[in-house]
Amino acid sequence: MELTFVGKLHKAEAVSELQIEQEEFYKEYRLPASIPAFPHYEVEILDVPAYSGSGRLHIHKSLKNGKNFMCWTADVPTKGYAKAVFTLWCVGTTYTILTGKDFSQYVTEESQIRDQAHLAEEFEKIKNALKFFEETHQIYVV
């Protein structure tokens, strides 16, 4: 199985240039509720592996234009940072595809657990997902 991810970078210098609606997305999901600092990059998802599991893929469909974007509410001030965040998002998405678990939920839940054996087991799953990702992925940023 090969995983292909394709993202398109959109640079915004002002609120009017954001591809994702600021009220419904940034102000609802961002803590504290606010729009990002500018310049800010948003990553449109052009291609992502098919997935039908129960874990959530963090893709946001823009109410402004109907396009799918990487769900990432933090500031993304540079093209290089956008590519790094997209790669991290792809690794998390690979973990979700392989395990059926929401990667962001895993990070939140597992940080609360003190059972070292369970943490070690879950960490192995992340390492396996990362290894699988490294061996099988293709990332394109346009």
Q: Per-residue pLDDT for the chain (142 aa), expressed as one digit of tens each? A: 788 999 999 999 999 999 999 878 988 888 888 899 999 999 999 999 988 887 788 999 999 999 999 998 889 999 988 888 888 888 888 888 888 888 877 655 544 444 555 656 666 777 777 777 777 767 677 6
Instruction: Quote the pLDDT of residue 142.
Output: 66
Amino acid at 131: K
Q: Which domain holds residue 69?
A: 5-141
Tokens 């291609």 -> residue:
47
d(CA 52, CA 48): 12
Pairing of β 59-61 and β 68-70: antiparallel
Q: What is the pTM of this model?
A: 0.80
- pLDDT value for 111: 46
Tokens of 1: 């199985």
Domain total for the chain?
1
Which amino acid, residue 122?
Answer: E
pLDDT at position 122, please? 65
Report the pLDDT value the prediction gives residue 114, as an integer from 0 to 100.
Answer: 47
